[in-house]
Each structure stands twice: as C-alpha cells, then as structure tokens.
Amino acid sequence: MGNEAIAFGALSAGVSVITGYPGTPSSEILETVVKQNADGVYAEWSVNEKAALEVAAGAAFSGLRAMATMKQVGLNVASDPLMSLNYVGVKGGLVVVAADDPGPVSSQTEQDTRRFGEFSKIAVFDPSSPEEAYFMIGEAFEFSERYGRPVLFRPTTRVCHGTATVQISDGVEPNRKADAWKAFGNVCLELAENAESKRKGNFMRGGGERVIFPKLAYENHIEIEAQLKEMSAELSDYPRNFITDITPLNFSRRNGKGEYLYGKKTGAENGRAADTGGIASDCGAEVKDDTTSSGNSENGNATIKKGIASGGVSFAYTEEALSMLPPREGYRLFKVSAYPFPERGALRFLDGLDEALVIEELDPVIERALTELCGRYGVNVKIRGKLTGDAPVAGENSVETAYAALRNFFKNPQKTAESDIIDAEGKTLRKAVSDNILGIGSEPRKATADDTLDIASETPPALPVRPPVLCPGCPHRFSFSAVKQAVAENAGGRKAVFSGDIGCYTLGNALGMVDTCLCMGAGITVAQGLSRAEPDALNFAFIGDSTFFHSGITGLINAVYNQADIIVVILDNFTTAMTGNQPHPGVGKTPAGKLSKRTDIYKIVEAIGADALLRVNAYDGEGARAAVKSVLDKKGVRVLLFEGACIKLKGAE
Amino acid sequence: MTNCIITGVGGQGVILMSRLIGTAAAAKGLDVKGAETIGMAQRGGSVVSHIRIGDGAKSPLVARGTADVLIALEPSEAVRALRYLRDGGMAFVSNRAISPRKENFDVGNASAHNRTDCPRNETFDGDEVFAANREVLSRKENFSAAERKISEETTAVASQTDTAIGYLRRAVKNLRVVDYESVVSRCGAKAFNTALLGIAVSSGAFPFGKDDVRGALIGRISEKFLEINLNALACEN
Ligand code: SF4
C-alpha cells in the first residue's frame, strides 16, 4: 500500500518523530511506522492536526527529522501553524503529509494541497505511485532540511491506497537520497553520517530565529521569495520533473487495418530532464549545463508540436492512455512532481510547441502555471485543460478520462477492435482497446466472437444501490433510536433539529438524525447558531468522542460561556471508528496499544460547567430515553454522554 | 500482464482476497500494482479491488474492457463490474445475492444489550467493555428483529440471483458460477472468499498456482483462521 511505502521511505530517511490525526486516506502511514517499532522513533496520534504539526515542528526545531500526517481537510486545521512555520523555518527536515482525495472518495471537499503550497509558499512533492512515494519522501526530507523550510507531501487516494511491489531497504540510508541528487550535479547537503545521531535533537536556545515577530516575518518573507526562485530553478532539474520527447517510429496501414508501431522514447527512460535549451535561455532563464545531456536529437524535437503535462497518479493514467491511443504524431511529455512550479523546465517543455494539454486531478495548478508562463514570457502555446473545457473539472481521473481528453487533443480517429498495437517484428503488444469498450464513444459495447450473445441489445438488470450503513449492533443506532423516540414522545410539538459531525455517526443521515455536517467539531457550534435563529426549536448536536477531543471542546466552552440553549449528545464509542479504530485521549492508549493516561470526557464536561450532565449506557434503551426526556425541558447547555463500545474494537471476528 | 478485478460487498473479504493475490504474485517475482476501496464503502457498500500483475502496468486501476479476470463474491456486483471485463475474459461469480442493507431504527429489545456499567477508571483498559459487548452481541436472541432480518437477507435472494446470473451467462462466455451453498457446506462460510480464489487459481486465471496462494495465506492469516482458509483453498468445486 502506498501509505506503507511512505512510512518505510520515511523510516529509511531517518524520521525520528511522527505525529498525526487519523483521516482517510492518510491513516495507515503512522500505523505502519508504529508497527515497525523502530528504535528511537517516536510516534503519536495527536489530539488534532494542529497539535500534530506543532509537535513535529518542535522536534524539527531541535534538528530531528519529523513528519506530521493528515488528510487534506486536516491541513485546514493545521494551517495556522503551517503558515507561520514557514516563516520561522526548521532545522531538521519537516515533511507534512496531507493526503488529497479526488472523487472525493471519503472527504468533505475536493481541495488541492498544491494550492495550499502556493498560498503558504511551501514546496510540495506530489508522488505518482507508491514506488515513487517511497523514494520521494526521502528526497522531501532532504529538500526541507537543505532549505530549512517545511515541505508538503501530498499523495492522493490512489497513491495512498494503491498497491505496488516496492523494493525496500532495511534501516536508515541517508546516502540513497544524496545519490539521487548528485546525479544531477546538485550540491548535496551534509547528511548525517550516522543514523543514531539523527535521532537525538539539540535545540539551540537564544538565537531568536524561532520566535516570530513582525520584523523577522518581513525579513524572512524576502528570504522565502528568494528561496522559492532558487527552489523552482533546482526543481527544473529534479529527476522526477522530467521531459521526454516521443516520436512514432512509423505509421503504416497494412491489410487495410490501421496498425500502429510503437513509439520510442528519445529521452532517457524514467526521466532525465532532456535539456532542449531554446526559449529557456532566450527568456533569460538560466540554463545549467551540468545535467547529462541525454542525447535527444534536435531535429526530432522540431517536429513535435504537441505537448502533454501531467503529475501525480494522473501521469500514470496519461502514460497508459497514450499507449492505448497511441497518437500518430510525436509529442512531448512533461511530468511535474514537485513545486514551486519548475519554470525553467516548463519553458523547455513549451519550446516549439503549438499546444499543450494538461491532465491533472483537482485544481488546474499546472495548467494555470503554464498559462501564466506563456503570458509572462510571450510564448505562443495554447494551453488546454480544465479551464478550457478539455478535461473534467471535478472528480477523479482515470485511464478512461485521460484517453478521452487525449483522443480529442490528438484528433485521433475512433478506433476499432482491429487496430491492435504491434511492434516492429509484428508481434502484438496489446490488443487495441476500442473507444466503445472504454465507454467513451457513443456506441455500446459490441459483441465479438468471444461473446455468446450481443449484450448490447439487452439492458442490464437493475442493480441494488448500496449506501454504507452502520454495522449491525453499532451503539450509534441505539443512541439515535433513543433520542428519536424520546423526542417523539416528549417534544410536545416542538421542532427538533439534529446537527451532526464527522465520524461513523454521520451515517445516521439515513435515519433522519443528521441535519447538518460541516467539518470536524462544527456540530456543537452550528447548533448554537441554529438556536440563536430559532430559539423555540430543540437543538441537538451529536459528536463522537474522538471528534470531541479534536475540536468539540472549544465549541462546548463557547456554548457554556455564551449561555446557549442546546442539547449535546456525545457518542462515546471508545475509539476513532471511521478511520480504522485508532485510540485517542479518552481511550488512554498509545498507537502501539500501550496504556497511557486517560482523559475523562465526563470530568471535562463537568469542569466546563454544563447546565446538566448525564452519563448514559447507549445500549440501555429505556435509561437512555429517560435521560433524554429529563433534559428536554431544561434550559442551557445540556450534555448527554452516551457510552457504548464500537463493535469493531478488538479484532471483531 | 494479467488485469484482475475483485468485487463484492463491504465485509465479504474483497480486500483480503486482493492482498492474497498480490502477495502470491509478488512471491513469484512478478510486478504487482493495484488499488483498493478503503473507507466508508467498507460498511456494506460496493467494494472493488483492482490488481495488475506483470510488467507494463502504469496505472493502479484497470481500465474498462481490459480485465482478464473478474472475481465476484456477489452476482449483482459482478454485473456492476462487468464493464471492466475484456472480451473473452474469465469471470468467477458466487451465486449468493446480498440485498442492500437499509438503515432503520429497529433495535429490537434494546434492554437485552444493557450492560450495568462501563468500567472506566484510571487504568481503564477497555478490554472488559469490549468483552462484555461482544458477549452480549454474540447471543443470538439479543439480535434485534432488524438485525436478524439483515442476516436472513444476506442468505440467498433467489430472484436477484437468477436475474444477475442469467444476464452474466448471456454476456460472458468464460463464466464460472460458483455455488455458494455447496462450497460452504464443505469449506465453511468463513473462508468462502479463499475457496473462490482457489477455484479461479486452479482454472489458470493467474500466473501463479495454489501453492503460492498457500504461502500468502500462511504469511497473512492469523493462526486461528489459517486452518479453515487452507482447507478452503484446497477445496475444489
Ligand atoms: S465501526 Fe463501530 S462505530 Fe462505526 S458503524 Fe461500526 S460499530 Fe458503529
């Protein structure tokens, strides 16, 4: 799994402190680190992403390599420390892993962490596969340490939960990353010779450089801007930001069939940025000649008029779609794997092209950067992508979507099943995939000799819709049921509104028990707003235990302090269930399952000063209904703590 | 290269099956790529795993119309995933339909689940609570009417099976319908997924054999369930 690859990569890069808050698709990174039980590596589930990043920052101030993991919306929570952390800088490499979720498969938004990178002026590494993620995470640490700035690492769902064979090495390998950079003539930083020394920090007091003051912020802003230029230049030579020219060897029509001969890459396989000089130098961008010139012929390039830029897992889709197509003319491929946008590399890519198509997920980051570059340098290349309607603006990409965009871009004719792809010896490399099979053309799938019947003429049977549901025996169902019944019996015609939150219990939506769901911790606060607008209604807020610790406590204090009129139902199932049962402060266990201190939710609520507080056994329907009834007619902030363990806990059979 | 799609309903063991395939192939020195459905859909939704074995795969996802093998633990899910299968591809499909679960409030006799107290104190270890919970839930009579209905519904839904399987028979030439009842009577219900995988493997669907899957099982399955899984693998239909 990609998340495991990231964990192993980080360990072999000598990470010493790893923190995080669970969130699909990022959770398995920290869990894998914990499972390895590596010597001297500290791992914690933090109470939320802000705490996670700050803990990691402290470790990095002391010179250790640290990593904080979270999902993309978690980065919103951690954005406060992130923004200023860049100004303050770090000593040890600090990598913030924020997993994006195109689709979205299990998230509230389709936000793009690359944009967060632009906003916070932080470099972003964007792996395209689990294998690449394994190596790239080490490079990210090295990069962060060399510039003394935090770095973002943003895998997407298909990288996190994608699987691949990855050759991993044992132990710490500081020099592996050094080699990757040396190959490019970059100056490598002095990596610690010895892994052990890396795992003991030493915070330098008295320098004041970690204390953010306006004056320092101004000075560091200037430095950051200068560094961004430097980074962009360096990343133009980063082996994972590469350009390859691909020219078809031949195109022939034999036996009346369109038979394609496979194109051959002229650039080095797997990416050396092919230095094409040209406009890059004309436009004042410095072209370093220290890269190995990979022998691509000048004359080959002149014929190439079309370019394709891509990054992340979309690059894999693009490559695969290209091999299915394949275009009948030569083209140039640009893989963008790290930001700030590698401008010099991009100018080499644009050199001589008529138009370029960008295939990327989430926001049109590469597309905008290329468009801007064309404007700034007066380069006349038409950039196509999401902004021009040439690619879908939302949702996940796939080989199919890439194929559709590419076929349109290359104006390749519709393909038939006969157009198999053969190599020079006439051997079939791959059976052609016709458009209709890919579901792109308007024609339905046609029967072939292999089919017993032309199913195109038959409508498939209606398929059951399968919404996710709470597990059988889930305590939440009991809790919802008790609240619903108690309200039905005792509300006396008053309207009841149920504000929900994030967790398994969001599925209570199907029970009509979730009217709002905004973001982590928002249930309690949204209910307060609703109650200000509609004081006569009964305003309930449901929140899980982990979410309560994450960001529910502040909302509850806000309610008590401002004397809101709400009923808060804390659904305590002793775990963070939705993301795979991670422990939290109320459980009092470490990620490795060892006992630690437990924070008692009941006592917290008591201390906050709720107007009423009752502990309820979620499975005790009668008792639960009575508890709800007893607070219905009271005023103020009433808190019901429903306890019932998630049935998935403890290796449910 | 072998492209494979495994599908079923969350909780049926799709992910385990795809990991067994991945492990078996990797043990043969073959390159493996793939993607799994992890997250909310695991709670009873449609689950699809993509696996690609051999050189040349770039994307973790199998493109439509390019799967050589389709293994489905549920017939309607097989129909849903049929778009992935290439012409002439092989399909192995369980004939046991599973009705979608519908969320409802019926918790039955809730007091049957009642536990007198949640043992929470400074040294709270949770184990006790979980044990108590499990004990309550394992007693059949404590399942609510709704939950009993769910478990009944998950046994064969005859008409749904017939429609889906009938369609598959017309659409796929290389179709192997695997009779759930007869496999389960010999291998037990717990390891049906492994049995189905065994059947696919012995039909030559994969570039590895049962021995490789056996190795994968030994590496991946806890001792407690290893025996029944090894038996299921050996079981022929
Ligand atoms: S995982 Fe736990 S909390 Fe979530 S639905 Fe299942 S039983 Fe309920």
Euclidean distance between CA atoms A117 and A66, whole angstroms:
18
CB of B6 within 8 Å of any CB in chain A? Answer: no
For B163, name the nearest residue in chain A, comparing CA atoms only: A461
Q: Kindly report which listed range (A513-517, A525-529, B228-232) carries the lowest average pLDDT score.
A: B228-232
- Would you state the pLDDT for residue A172? 58
Euclidean distance between CA atoms A135 and B138, whole angstroms:
46
Banded pLDDT at B111 (limits 50, 70, 90) = very low
- Would you state the pLDDT for residue B75? 92
Residue in A461, A588, A620 nearest the CB of B164: A461
Residue in A129, A158, A466 nearest the CB of B100: A466
Higher pLDDT, B142 or A265: B142
**Tell me, what DSSP letter sits at residue A460?**
P
Higher pLDDT, A463 or A366: A366
How many Cα atoms within 13 Å fall on the side-chain side of residue A583?
Answer: 24
CATH architecture for residues A475-652: 3-Layer(aba) Sandwich (3.40)
Q: Which B residues 153-172 touch A at CB under 8 Å? A: 160, 163-164, 167, 169-172
- Would you state the pLDDT for residue A294? 38
Instruction: Give me ligand 1 centre to Cα A336, in Å.
Output: 40
Banded pLDDT at A5 (limits 50, 70, 90) = very high
Distance from CA of A181 to the nearest CA of B (A): 24
Q: Which CATH number fits the domain that encloses residue B113?
A: 3.40.920.10
Name chain B contacts of A466, Cβ cutoff 8 Å.
9-10, 44-46, 100-101
**Tell me, what DSSP letter sits at residue A180?**
H
Nearest-CA residue for ligand 1 atom 2 is A646
Q: Given a cut of 70, is residue B182 above it in pLDDT?
A: yes
Q: Which B residues 187-226 touch A at CB under 8 Å? A: none
Mutation choice for ligand 1 from A647, A649, A650, A653, CB with most ligand atoms inside 8 A: A647
Higher pLDDT, A613 or A649: A613
The winner for highest mean pLDDT among A155-169, A458-472, A486-500 is A486-500
Nearest-CA residue for ligand 1 atom 3 is A646
Q: Given a cut of 90, is residue A189 above it in pLDDT?
A: no
Euclidean distance between CA atoms A271 and A510, whole angstroms:
49
Coil, helix or strand at residue A545 = helix
Q: Given a cut of 50, is residue B56 above it in pLDDT?
A: yes
Judge whether A465 and B80 are in contact, CB under 8 Å.
no
Banded pLDDT at A210 (limits 50, 70, 90) = confident
Q: Which amino acid is at A259?
A: E
For chain A, the straight-line distance linking the first and the last C-alpha, in angstroms and rounded, comes to: 23
Triad A367, A370, A371: Cα angle to 5° = 85
Q: Kindly report which listed range (A261-275, A472-486, B60-74) carries the lowest average pLDDT score.
A: A261-275
Distance from CA of A525 to the nearest CA of B (A): 25
Instruction: Give me ligand 1 centre to Cα A517, in Å.
Output: 18
> Among A435, A465, A466, A582, which would you mutate to test the B interface (most chain B Cβ atoms within 10 Å of its Cβ)?
A466
Distance from CA of A260 to the nearest CA of B (A): 18
Q: Given a cut of 50, is residue B120 above it in pLDDT?
A: no
Euclidean distance between CA atoms B4 and B66, whole angstroms:
9
Judge whether B231 and B191 are in contact, CB under 8 Å.
yes
Is residue B70 packed enough to be buried (19+ CB in 10 Å), middle (13-18) or exposed (0-12)? buried
CB of B237 within 8 Å of any CB in chain A? Answer: no
Judge whether A503 and A550 are in contact, CB under 8 Å.
no
In angstroms, the Cα distances linking A178 to A138, A152, A182, A335 are: 10, 20, 6, 22
- Would you state the pLDDT for residue A285? 32
Banded pLDDT at A198 (limits 50, 70, 90) = low
Beta-ladder partners of A251: A260
Q: Given a cut of 70, is residue A625 above it in pLDDT?
A: yes
Name chain B contacts of A313, Cβ cutoff 8 Å.
59-60
Higher pLDDT, A423 or A191: A423
**Domain containing residue B119:** 2-233
Burial A60-93 (b: 16+ CB within 10 A, else e): bbbbbbbbbbbbbbbbbbbbebbeebbbbbbbbb
> Among B107, B149, B154, which would you mutate to test the A interface (most chain A Cβ atoms within 10 Å of its Cβ)?
B107
The predicted complex's ipTM stands at 0.81
Name chain B contacts of A323, Cβ cutoff 8 Å.
58
Instruction: Give me ligand 1 centre to Cα A585, in Å.
Output: 19
- Would you state the pLDDT for residue A457? 53
Helix axes B210-220, B223-234, angle to 10 degrees: 170
Q: Do B58 and A106 touch (CB under 8 A)?
A: no
CB of A446 within 8 Å of any CB in chain B? Answer: no
In angstroms, the Cα distances linking B138 to A568, B113, B124, B134 are: 31, 10, 23, 6
Q: Do A510 and B103 touch (CB under 8 A)?
A: yes
Is residue A488 packed enough to be buried (19+ CB in 10 Å), middle (13-18) or exposed (0-12)? exposed
Place of tokens 């944009």: A115
Euclidean distance between CA atoms A590 and B121, whole angstroms:
17
- Per-residue pLDDT averaged across A87-102, rounded? 95
Considering the entire predicted model, what is its pTM?
0.84
Q: Do A164 and B34 touch (CB under 8 A)?
A: yes
- Would you state the pLDDT for residue A591? 92
Coil, helix or strand at residue A523 = helix
Distance from CA of A160 to the nearest CA of B (A): 9
Q: What is the mean pLDDT of chain A?
A: 82
- Would you state the pLDDT for residue A188? 30
- Per-residue pLDDT averaged across A55-81, rounded? 96
Choosing among 3.20.20.70, 3.20.20.150, 3.40.50.920, 1.10.1740.10, the CATH entry for A243-438 is 3.40.50.920
- Would you state the pLDDT for residue A509? 86
Coil, helix or strand at residue A631 = helix
Neighbours of A212 (CB within 10 A): 13
Instruction: Give me ligand 1 centre to Cα B100, in Å.
Output: 17
3-state secondary structure labels for all residues of B22-84? HHHHHHCCCCEEEECCCCHHHCCCEEEEEEEECCCCCCCCCCCCCEEEEEECCHHHHHHHHHH
Class of A2-182+185-190+210-234 in CATH: alpha beta
Residue spans in chain A of domains classed CATH 3.40.50.920: 243-438
- Would you state the pLDDT for residue B158? 59
Name chain A contacts of B31, Cβ cutoff 8 Å.
164-165
- Would you state the pLDDT for residue A263? 34
Nearest-CA residue for ligand 1 atom 1 is A577
Q: Kindly report which listed range (A261-265, A436-440, B97-101) carries the lowest average pLDDT score.
A: A261-265
Coil, helix or strand at residue A334 = strand
Q: Given a cut of 90, is residue A318 above it in pLDDT?
A: yes
Strand order across the beta sheet in which A496-499 lies: A496-499, A538-544, A566-572, A637-643, A612-617
Instruction: Give me ligand 1 centre to Cα B134, in Å.
Output: 13
CB of A593 within 8 Å of any CB in chain B? Answer: no
Name chain A contacts of B170, Cβ cutoff 8 Å.
452-453, 455, 458
- Per-residue pLDDT averaged across A264-285, rounded? 34
**Tell me, what DSSP letter sits at residue A551?**
I
Higher pLDDT, B218 or B143: B218
| Cβ contacts of A287 within 8 Å, gap of 6 or more | A275, A277, A280, A281, A344
Euclidean distance between CA atoms A97 and A151, whole angstroms:
9
Q: Given a cut of 70, is residue A254 above it in pLDDT?
A: no
Q: What is the mean pLDDT of chain B?
A: 78
DSSP A574-594: SSBTTTT-B--TTTTB-TTS-
Q: Given a cut of 80, is residue A155 above it in pLDDT?
A: yes
CB of A470 within 8 Å of any CB in chain B? Answer: yes
- Per-residue pLDDT averaged across B71-94, rounded? 91
- Per-residue pLDDT averaged across A210-227, rounded? 88
For A458, name the nearest residue in chain B, comparing CA atoms only: B167
Instruction: State whether the Cα torsion B169-B172-B174-B177 is positive or negative.
Output: negative
Q: Kindly report which listed range (A516-530, A599-613, B76-90) carries the lowest average pLDDT score.
A: B76-90
Nearest-CA residue for ligand 1 atom 6 is A471
Q: Given a cut of 60, is residue A451 above it in pLDDT?
A: no
Q: Do A621 and B126 touch (CB under 8 A)?
A: no
Name chain B contacts of A105, Cβ cutoff 8 Å.
37, 39, 41
Euclidean distance between CA atoms B210 and B90, whole angstroms:
18
Q: Given a cut of 70, is residue B149 above it in pLDDT?
A: no
Q: Which amino acid is at A10?
A: A
Euclidean distance between CA atoms A143 and A151, whole angstroms:
8
Higher pLDDT, A652 or A248: A248
Name chain B contacts of A450, Cβ cutoff 8 Å.
87-88, 173-174
**Tell me, what DSSP letter sits at residue A516?**
B
Name chain A contacts of B76, Cβ cutoff 8 Å.
461, 463-464
Name chain B contacts of A484, Cβ cutoff 8 Å.
105
Banded pLDDT at A173 (limits 50, 70, 90) = low
Q: Kindly report which listed range (A404-413, A453-462, B86-95, B172-181) carries the lowest average pLDDT score.
A: A453-462
- Would you state the pLDDT for residue B106? 57
Q: Do A439 and B36 touch (CB under 8 A)?
A: no
DSSP A610-627: -SEEEEEETT-HHHHHHH
Indicate the number of domains in chain B.
1
Summarised one tens digit per residue, pLDDT across range A120-138 is 999 999 999 999 999 999 9
- Per-residue pLDDT averaged across B196-216, rounded? 93
DSSP A224-240: HHHHHHHHHHHHTT-TT
CB of B149 within 8 Å of any CB in chain A? Answer: no
- Per-residue pLDDT averaged across A472-495, rounded? 90
Euclidean distance between CA atoms A505 and A474, whole angstroms:
10
Q: Given a cut of 60, is residue A577 above it in pLDDT?
A: yes
Q: Do A650 and B130 touch (CB under 8 A)?
A: yes
- Per-residue pLDDT averaged across B10-14, rounded? 87
In angstroms, the Cα distances linking A406 to A252, A357, A381, A649 are: 21, 8, 17, 47
Q: Do B60 and A439 touch (CB under 8 A)?
A: no
Q: What is the CB < 6 Å shell around ligand 1? A: A 470-471, 474, 476, 504, 573, 577, 646-648; B 43
CB of A478 within 8 Å of any CB in chain B? Answer: yes
**Main-chain dihedrals φ then ψ at residue A571, nearest 5 degrees:** -95, 95
The percent of residues above 90 in pLDDT, for chain A, comes to 60
